[in-house]
Amino acid sequence: MGSVVDELHEHPNGWYGKEPWWKEATFYQVYPASFKDSNGDGWGDIPGLISEVDYLHELGVDVVWLSPVFDSPQSDMGYDVSDYQKIYAPYGSIQDVDTLVKACHDRGMKLILDLVVNHTSIEHEWFKESRSSKTNPKRDWYIWRPARYDADGRRMPPTNWRSYFAGPTWTWDEHTQEYYLHLYASDQPDLNWESEECREAIYEDTMRFWLRRGVDGFRIDTVNKYSKRTEYVDAPVTDPTSPHQPAPEMWCNGPRIHEFISELQEKALAPFGAISVGELSNTPHPSQVVPYVSAAAKELDMVFEFSMIRLGTGGMFGPKYHYVPFELPTLKGLVDKWQRFIEGTDAWTTVFCENHDNGRAVSRFGDCSTRDLWAASAKTLASWQATLTGSLFLYQGQEIGMTNMPVSWGIDEYKDIESLNFYAEAKRSGRQDEIDKTMHGLRILARDHSRIPFQWDDGPNAGFSQEGARPWMRVHDEYRDINARRQRDDPESVLSFYKRVLRLRKQLRDVLVFGTFRLLAADDKAIFAYVKEGASQRRRAVVVLNFSREEHDCPDVCEALGCASEQTTATLVLSTADQAGSKARPTQGREARLKPWEGRIYTNFAV
């Protein structure tokens, strides 16, 4: 494949399809604080990322997604922006972003930034003006409401809503004697998208400003929370132990949300041909998702739907970190649902199993009980992700099999505001079982796991930062065994496997990227198998993944591929068990047993 800007692709089976280039792109999320520190201050930075652009290019990345780098007090790691047109000094400068854009473009890659416009920091000038007086022109750029009072005359928030980070969604402002709304932390006040002036400032100051500088688009944070239900009524009491109640129905997919996103597309994205991928939370029904990503609707190019990646959580609010075990059929059912929901529509989907808000995939969905099973399961997860329909998103370190923080680490090593708030809430309960249950869940699911420094090599600070520096988060204990340098020249490594399977994904794009998905043996608790079929219905692939530490019989792939044994044979094109030495080879009948955590890809055509 040439440059990602090419929009016309010749497919291997001879037909031509005009598809937007981003549909077959591999995106790679960089969490800037933890990727590469270039100056020894313990924070990753943009110059550090620039120094490793070739690493990403060699991996097979088409688009770099850079998590927030705007100026910020860092209460929520940059998701609390104080100035959209400045860069947080430890990350670098605007000129560094310009250099990064050029470095990506010179290699045929793109760059998208993280757009956080549901809320700002309390340090943003807009909010300082808004809270200065009730008559300030920017007062209605945020959501202010008067207090309520109970029968005894005690002041109460306008509603009983619970925030995502625990506690109420309203904070009292003594100066103007009103409450302001914040769905997240109290220093992340929500912008009021009902204000046309506010919306125009968002488009001009946060989007056009960067698009004019050559940025190619945005991952759009909390994209379905801009339209709230403006009657501001209490949510039903579902947690009698708390005065603050979960209320996502009050702010997700609100009455004007599609109007707002259509306007955002028309006024800011479309004039630049910019890419958009939205974070779509609390939207579990395909009928709700399709309108956001329908090509005809002209809203967003694609969205992240989170049902699968949130497996194991106890919900989004109070019991979020009460871990709920699940079996493979549950995972398969969700994958099947979100692979097939676009069939018969003009919508598109995304593929991902890691990001900055979740534990590491190999620790959650794989097997880290031994070093051999860790490597095998990391490769099988790569085979799973690379063979699903949709645009593929990888998270930094996923390609080398980075794991969760060691279970021996205590709460003092956790830095994330959400982790600390949920743990503090458990402590306030005074119940040891609640504390233990929450800590157990954090060890599996916490956002902190994805945020520890990238493991570049076996030198000081894992090569993330120079010797003598103090990284903002502790480096993983196992960095000498799991690091990019060790894997780079090892043909059997997780990193080498990712490179190979990403090449195969592009080579077989008509089947793997654009093909339809059909699940096999939905109730099997060990084998995850499915058929991918290209548009011609002549080219098929069967993916067989052993999600267990025992050997299992391989399904009859010839039957699944529809091969007539006398005329056509199945071809094994990739196996995680012998990635370097194996060649594509024909096979007939039932294959050899699957090794523990082995993944295989078969086709009914030569590769």
562 torsion bin: left (phi>0), alpha (psi -120 to 50), beta (else): left
Cα 186 to its chain centre, rounded Å, is 24
Catalytic site includes residue 96: no
Single out the catalytic residue among 62, 279, 299, 367: 279
> In terms of C-beta density within 10 A (0-12 exposed, 13-18 middle, 19 or more buried), how is residue 136 classed?
middle
CA-wise closest residue to 49 among 109, 121, 115: 109
Which long-range contacts link 535-539 to residues 24+ away (Cβ below 8 Å)? Answer: 535/15, 535/17, 535/510, 536/13, 536/15, 536/510, 538/13, 538/604, 538/605, 539/12, 539/13, 539/510, 539/511, 539/603, 539/604, 539/605
Q: What is the radius of gyration, based on Cα positions, of the chain?
A: 24
What are the DSSP calls for 286-332, one per residue? HHHHHHHH-TTTTS-SEEEE-TTTTTT---SSTTTTS-----HHHHH
Single out the catalytic residue among 52, 62, 96, 221: 221
Task: Identify the DSSP state of 82.
Answer: S
In this structure, the strands spanning 275-280 and 217-220 are: parallel
Q: What angle do CA 161, 164, 166 make, to 5 degrees?
A: 75
Q: How far apart are CA 544 and CA 336, in angstroms?
A: 15
Residues 6+ apart with CB under 8 A from 410: none
Instruction: Name the residue with tokens 């780079």.
Output: 488
Cα 424 to its chain centre, rounded Å, is 26
Q: How far apart are CA 446 and CA 466, in angstroms?
A: 27
Q: Are 454 and 396 in contact (CB under 8 A)?
A: yes
Q: Are 404 and 419 in contact (CB under 8 A)?
A: no
Catalytic site includes residue 279: yes
Residues 6+ apart with CB under 8 A from 416: 77, 446, 447, 448, 451
Instruction: Name the residue with tokens 């290699």.
Output: 107
- Name the β-bridge partners of 93: none
Type of residue at 92: G
Integer CA distances (angstroms), 312 to 105, 322, 388, 582, in order: 39, 8, 22, 36
Q: How far apart are CA 604 and CA 539, in angstroms?
A: 6
Q: Are 177 and 134 in contact (CB under 8 A)?
A: no
Supply the residues annotated as catalytic: 221, 279
